[in-house]
Amino acid sequence: MNNKFIVFEGIDGSGKTTQSKLLSEKIKGKYTCEPTNGEIGKLIRKVLSGKKLRKSCGLAHSSLRSKCEKETLALLFAADRVEHVVDIEQNLKKSHIVCDRYIYSSMVYESIQGIELDFIMNINKFAKKPDVLIFLDVDIEESFKRMGGRSKEIFENKDTLEKVKKKYYEIIEKRLFEPKYGYIVVDTTNKDIDEVHDEIMEELREKGIIK
């Protein structure tokens, strides 16, 4: 099969969503994201936004520090991914897939909360290896400006962004869950949308992932 499974990752404000949508349009692929828009994905978004289901399932923004609950969230992400992988496999028969966040987000965000990487990898055993991971880097100050200083989710403050960025580089350096064509790192700092898009296209062509 010639269709490719392309994953975008990066810290908030790195332009992942913009670039993954742009790329999927360009290569006539299908854009998808995690958390997904399915029922489990929606539940995860509620938890992350802090609105939470305090009464119904006891998960609260501040309580993510609690061991059991952060693991519950990790399991929800893994469950959402089980459903997502089924869809990805199906859709790959028809077109390229461009995915905005994937298992690497679990590896990064969950491990910085203190969950062991082994546990994360174990609950994600069914995750399909992508063809390539595109990591969008950005200077932390710029990322914060791009987000307009907003802090809608639990992971969005400068210290956390630094930790997140470091973890992504660790994954790339240690070649964890290495995609078939490896990793592409693009620094988006001081670059506009088109410049970043062109750079991504060039790298994908160079690796022979797209024509």
Q: Does 105 bind ligand ATM (CB under 6 A)?
A: yes
Choose, by CB under 6 A, the member of 155, 165, 167, 197 that binds ligand ATM: 155
Tell me, what amino acid is at 142? E
Q: Which stretch binds ligand ATM (CB under 6 A): 87-95, 139-147, 148-156, 177-185?
A: 148-156
- Number of residues assigned to the chain: 211
Q: Does 153 bind ligand ATM (CB under 6 A)?
A: yes
Q: What x-and-dash track marks residues 53-92 binding ligand ATM by CB under 6 A?
A: ------------------------x---------------
Q: Which stretch binds ligand ATM (CB under 6 A): 103-111, 143-151, 180-188, 191-199?
A: 103-111
Q: Closer to ligand ATM at the Cβ: 80 or 131?
A: 80
> Which residues here bind ligand ATM, judged by CB under 6 A?
12, 34-35, 48, 77, 101, 105-106, 109-110, 153, 155-156
